Structure 1
C-alpha cells in the first residue's frame, strides 16, 4: 500500500506516521499491512506534491485542518476548500482510494469551526458517493498525548507542560466536564480502519473508544499529583486502559530536558544503605538494599507483610526459621544467577553478604511501610 497523510506534521499526524513507519520497516509485526510508501503532506509541501501523491495512493488519512485561525475565513479555507482540492485531485486521477478524515465533536455545534468541519464532512461524503470510494468520518473528542502542542488548543497538553515546568495553571470552572481521547487509541483505531475493520458506525460517523469524561478540577489534581509523586514515590493507577495511566505517559513527555532524573533518599549507615524506590496503594513498594561484605540484615518476622528478595549483584545467604521451630532454612543467592526468594509470614529471616563486594538486593513488599503499623518484630534466625 501507498498511504497519503495530509497534516502529517501535526499532532495526530506525527503519531500516525511514526506508527506506520514502524509497520513499514518491520519493527511492528502486530499488524498485517504491507506498506510500500508513506506520502507525508503538510504546509511545507507544494500542490504538485499533492498531485503526485493522489496519483497512486491506496489510502488517504486526511488530517489537515485549521482550528486556531487569525481570521474566521481560514476555518473554511483549511477545513473545506482544501478538502475540495484533495477530492478533485483524486477524481482527476480516477483514484477510488478510501479516505479517513479526522473531524471533531464540534461538527455538531453551531460555531464556525464546527460548521467548517461539518461542510468538509459533507463534501467528502458526496465525493465518496460519486467515486464509489469508502469514506470514514471520525469526530474526535479533546485529544491528548505525546507531541501535542501546549498553550494551543489542548488543555491537557497545556496543563501537563505547565506543571512539569513549574508554571501555574488556570481553572475557570473546576466542575466543567471534559471528554478526552488518547492519541494511541486514535491511531490504533485509524490502523483498524486501514486494515478494513473499523469500529462501529453511528449515523455515518465512526467512533474512537474509549472516551474518558473527567471534570477539569479532577484533571488538574491528577496532573499535579504526577509532580508530587517524585517526593512521595507513589505510582499512578497503571491499570490497562485507565485514564490516569494515559495522562501519566503524556505528562512525562513534557518534562524539561534537565528534569528527567530525581534523587532518592538513601538511608546510609556502616552496614550499607536502604533506599525506597516505588510505592503503590495496590501493589506495595519496591526498595533497593545494599549490604557491605560480612553484614547481616533483617533478623525479624511479619504477621501479614510478605516480601520478595532478588539479589542482582554480589553473593548472599538468606536464612529462614518458623518462629515456633528450631529448623533453619538456607538459600544461597547471587547476582550471577537471578532468582526470587519469597519471604513467608511467620518466619524470621535475614540476608547475609557472604561475598567480597557490596551485595545489591531488590526488595518488594506487598504493602507500603506504615510507621504506625510496621508489622515487623525483631528475632534472630
Structure 2
C-alpha cells in the first residue's frame, strides 16, 4: 500500500509516519512545505490512501488561513481527480470548524470540499474534527498550551494562565495516531458525517499546570506521578519529551558512611519506595524487625547472605544471595533480619518497601538476629 501524508513534518504527521513505519507500512510519500511541489502530482497518481494533515494554524496574515486550509485542499483534490484516483482520504480538521473565526471558517471550507468530493467521485472520506492535541514533538509557544507549559516549566521559564478554570478537551497524540490507522484499515470511529478520536480528556487549565509543576518537583521528592490515571500518565510522558538536552539526569541524595551507602530512588503514594543499598565487604546491615512494614531485597551485584529470626524464636534462617543469580527475597513482618556482604567487593542490593520512610512512625525495632 502506498500512503500519502501531507503535513509530514508537522506534529501529527511526524508521529503518524513514525508509527506507520513501526507497523511496516514502508511505502510512504512524505509531503511538506519543503517538498518539491512537482512531486505532489506523482504522489496523487500513485497513492492508495491519503492522510491530509497539512494546514495553517498561525499565519502572519489571516488571509493565509483560507489559502492554507482551503486552497491546498482544493489543489490536492484536483490532482487526485486528474488521475481518476478515488482512494480514501482522511483530513484532520478542528472543532473550531463550528466557529465563525477566520481559522474555523477555513477548516469548515476544507471539510466542505471533502464532502463535495465524496459526492462527485464516490471516494471514502474521513473528516476528523479534532480538539486540542498534546504529546511529544508538538511545537511549544505556537498553538498548544500544553506544549508551551511543558516546555516552559522544563526550561524554568514563566508561564501565564489567564483563567485556570477554563475546561480543556484534549486528545493524546498516540490515541490520534491509533484512530487514524484504524481509519486506514476501515475501522474508523464514525459518528454521523464526522469521525472522532474516542478517548477525550476533560480537565481544567489550572489542573494541567498543577500537574506539570508536580512533575518538575517530583525529581527533588524522588516521587513518581499517579500512573494509574490515564491523563497523568500521558501528560508526564509529554512533559519529559520537553526536558532540556542537558537535564535528562538528576542527582540522588546518597547517605554514605563507613559501611557503604543507602540511597532512595523512587517513592510513590500507593506502591511504596525503592532504594539502592551498597554494602562494603564484611559489612552487616539491618538487625531490626517491623510490625507492618515489609520489604523485598534483590542483590544485583556481589555475594551475601540474608538472615532471619522470628523475634520470639532461636532458629536462624539463611538465604544466600548473589548478583550471578537474581532472586527476590521477601522480608516478612515479625522477623528480625540482616544482610551481610560475604564477598570481596561491594554488594549492591535493590530494596523495595511497601511504604516510604516516616521518621515519626518508622515501624523499625532494633534486635540482633
TM-score normalized with structure 1 length: 0.95
Q: Secondary structure at the match of 2:15?
A: helix
Is 2:64 aligned against 1:74?
Answer: yes
1:320-331 to 2 correspondence within 5 Å? 320-331=308-319
User: Out of 357, 365, 368, which is 2:353 matched to?
Assistant: 365
Structure 2 partner of 1:203 = 192
Structure 1 partner of 2:293 = 305
User: Out of 349, 357, 365, which is 1:377 matched to?
Assistant: 365
Report if aligned partners of 2:176, 2:197 keep a CA contact under 8 Å in 1.
yes
Is 2:47 aligned against 1:57?
Answer: yes
Structure 1 partner of 2:210 = 221
Q: Secondary structure at the match of 2:296?
A: strand
Looking at structure 2, the residues matched to 129 and 372 of structure 1 have their Cα atoms a distance apart, in angstroms, of: 73
Looking at structure 2, the residues matched to 380 and 135 of structure 1 have their Cα atoms a distance apart, in angstroms, of: 75
Q: Secondary structure at the match of 1:186?
A: helix
Looking at structure 2, the residues matched to 118 and 188 of structure 1 have their Cα atoms a distance apart, in angstroms, of: 24
Looking at structure 1, the residues matched to 26 and 241 of structure 2 have their Cα atoms a distance apart, in angstroms, of: 31
Is 2:107 aligned against 1:117?
Answer: yes
Structure 2 partner of 1:14 = 14
Deviations 1:91-115 (A, max 9, x none): 1111111111111111111211111
User: Out of 274, 281, 304, which is 1:316 matched to?
Assistant: 304
With 211-220 and 261-270 compared, the bigger mean Cα shift is at: 211-220
Looking at structure 2, the residues matched to 146 and 311 of structure 1 have their Cα atoms a distance apart, in angstroms, of: 36
Following TM superposition, by how much is the alpha carbon of 1:292 offset from its aligned partner in structure 2, in angstroms?
0.3
Report if aligned partners of 2:271, 2:354 keep a CA contact under 8 Å in 1.
yes
Structure 2 partner of 1:31 = none
1:1-381 to 2 correspondence within 5 Å? 1-24=1-24, 35-199=25-189, 201-239=190-228, 242-381=230-369
Aligned length: 369
Looking at structure 2, the residues matched to 105 and 260 of structure 1 have their Cα atoms a distance apart, in angstroms, of: 36
Looking at structure 2, the residues matched to 270 and 149 of structure 1 have their Cα atoms a distance apart, in angstroms, of: 50
List, as ranges, runs of 4+ consecutive aligned residues in structure 1 with deviation greater than 6 Å.
none
Deviations 1:76-97 (A, max 9, x none): 1111111111111111111111
Looking at structure 2, the residues matched to 342 and 45 of structure 1 have their Cα atoms a distance apart, in angstroms, of: 60
Looking at structure 2, the residues matched to 122 and 48 of structure 1 have their Cα atoms a distance apart, in angstroms, of: 26
TM-score normalized with structure 2 length: 0.98
Looking at structure 2, the residues matched to 298 and 349 of structure 1 have their Cα atoms a distance apart, in angstroms, of: 6
Q: Which runs of 5+ in 2 are unaligned?
A: none
Following TM superposition, by how much is the alpha carbon of 1:209 offset from its aligned partner in structure 2, in angstroms?
2.6
Deviations 1:40-97 (A, max 9, x none): 0010113311100010111100000011111111111111111111111111111111
Following TM superposition, by how much is the alpha carbon of 1:36 offset from its aligned partner in structure 2, in angstroms?
4.5
CA RMSD of aligned residues (A): 1.0
Deviations 1:150-183 (A, max 9, x none): 0000010001000000111111011111111111
Report if aligned partners of 2:20, 2:26 keep a CA contact under 8 Å in 1.
no
